């Protein structure tokens, strides 16, 4: 069954009960270059992150035309920018009028007001999808847990694990869990801003074994960061942010302090593009 609903926004919950049984795909981390003669590209300010830019360029190119609905997850970094820009570009006639865009928000709070707000948001999305066919509910969490456990044990390279997660999001299918043998070297963690390509992961595979990937998608979050770092025996935490990041970098000082307290080496690679090339990376870990 082809995807009827496209999702945009880091961390959007594919397996949320509101979406259960629907054919969904997550287009957040897909790269798109401007079409020849793009009228949208010159209007996109430099502060927009590469994922928002790719989404808006995809709209212009008609890449989402086969979907019944595009749902933008408000909680994702940059998602509100994507929604507001898309609305304005449509008003100007620079992108197609379809498919419909819907902003889905949640507070995640426990107060009565927060629960009422979340219920209203979920009801609005449920109403929009009420007429769409639903199939069997997929088990996405089980394969993700298996994949995470194998990565924690050093049984799969960081680049292959990341590729499995990216493909699962982009297709809406459960993640593959195939491995390629035991890894070796220092036990690494990767943190910072979201990445869209596996270049940094492939580079890290030459430096050691990536046992904890915190930049997502589907970041393991069952335990506090301190506990995960200790349980996985992390020796080096590698930090990076996109040059246009205005969110994740704020977490660096606290993460650095935690690593110092735990005796974990903290390596800050500085600005690494979300869709990096090997030219953007040093030869070895500093």
User: What integer is the mean pLDDT of 69-83?
Assistant: 96
Of the listed ranges 45-54, 217-226, 265-274, the one predicted with least confidence: 217-226
Of the listed ranges 1-5, 227-231, 233-237, the one predicted with least confidence: 1-5
Domain 141-280 sits in CATH 3.40.50: yes
Domain 5-129 sits in CATH 3.10.560.10: no
For residues 77 and 107, the answer to whether their CB atoms sit within 8 Å is: no
Give φ, ψ of 225 to 5 degrees.
-55, -45
Report the predicted TM-score, pTM, of the whole model to 2 decimal places: 0.93
Confidence of residue 3 (pLDDT cuts 50, 70, 90): low
H helix count then E strand count, the chain: 8, 8
Contacts of 121 (CB under 8 A, 6+ apart): 104, 105, 106
For residues 196 and 173, the answer to whether their CB atoms sit within 8 Å is: no
Pairing of strands 236-241, 187-192: parallel
Q: pLDDT tens-digit profile of 95-115?
A: 999 999 999 999 989 999 999
- Number of other CB atoms surrounding residue 41 within 10 Å: 14
Query: Above 60 in pLDDT, residue 66?
Result: yes
- Number of other CB atoms surrounding residue 168 within 10 Å: 21
Domain boundaries, the chain: 5-129, 141-280
Q: Is there a common fold for 5-129 and 141-280?
A: yes
In the predicted model, what is the mean pLDDT of the chain? 95
Structure-token match 């499995």, residue found: 164
Query: What ranges in 64-215 are assigned the alpha helix state H?
Result: 79-91, 112-129, 141-152, 158-171, 199-205
Q: What pLDDT was estimated at residue 142?
A: 96
Q: What pLDDT was estimated at residue 2?
A: 56
Instruction: Determine the Cα–Cα distance for residues 64 and 221; give it in Å rounded to an integer.
Output: 31
Contacts of 211 (CB under 8 A, 6+ apart): 151, 152, 153, 154, 187, 188, 189, 232, 233, 234
Confidence of residue 83 (pLDDT cuts 50, 70, 90): very high
């Amino acid at each position: 069954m082809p995807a009827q609903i496209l999702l945009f926004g880091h961390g959007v919950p594919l397996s949320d009960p509101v979406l259960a049984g629907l054919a969904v795909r997550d287009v957040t981390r897909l790269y798109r270059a401007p079409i020849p003669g793009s009228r949208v590209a010159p209007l996109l300010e430099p502060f927009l992150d590469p994922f928002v830019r790719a989404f808006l360029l995809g709209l212009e190119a008609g890449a989402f035309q086969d979907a019944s609905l595009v749902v933008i997850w408000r909680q994702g970094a940059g998602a509100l920018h994507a929604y507001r820009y898309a609305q304005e570009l449509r008003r100007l006639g620079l992108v197609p009028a379809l498919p419909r865009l819907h902003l889905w928000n949640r507070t995640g709070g426990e107060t009565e007001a927060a629960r009422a707000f979340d219920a209203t948001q979920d009801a609005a999305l449920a109403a929009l999808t009420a007429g769409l066919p639903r199939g069997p509910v997929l088990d996405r969490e089980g394969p993700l847990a298996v994949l995470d456990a194998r990565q924690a044990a050093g049984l799969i390279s960081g680049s292959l694990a990341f590729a499995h997660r990216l493909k699962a999001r982009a297709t809406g299918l459960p993640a593959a869990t195939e491995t390629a043998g035991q890894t070796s070297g220092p036990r690494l963690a990767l943190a910072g801003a979201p990445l869209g390509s596996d270049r940094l992961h492939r580079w890290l595979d030459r430096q050691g074994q990536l046992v904890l990937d915190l930049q997502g998608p589907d970041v393991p979050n069952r335990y506090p960061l301190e506990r995960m770092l200790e349980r996985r025996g992390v020796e080096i935490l590698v930090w990076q942010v996109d040059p246009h990041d205005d969110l994740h970098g704020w977490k660096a000082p606290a993460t650095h302090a935690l690593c110092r307290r735990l005796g974990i080496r903290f390596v800050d690679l500085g600005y690494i593009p979300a869709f990096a090339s090997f030219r953007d990376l040093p030869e070895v870990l500093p």
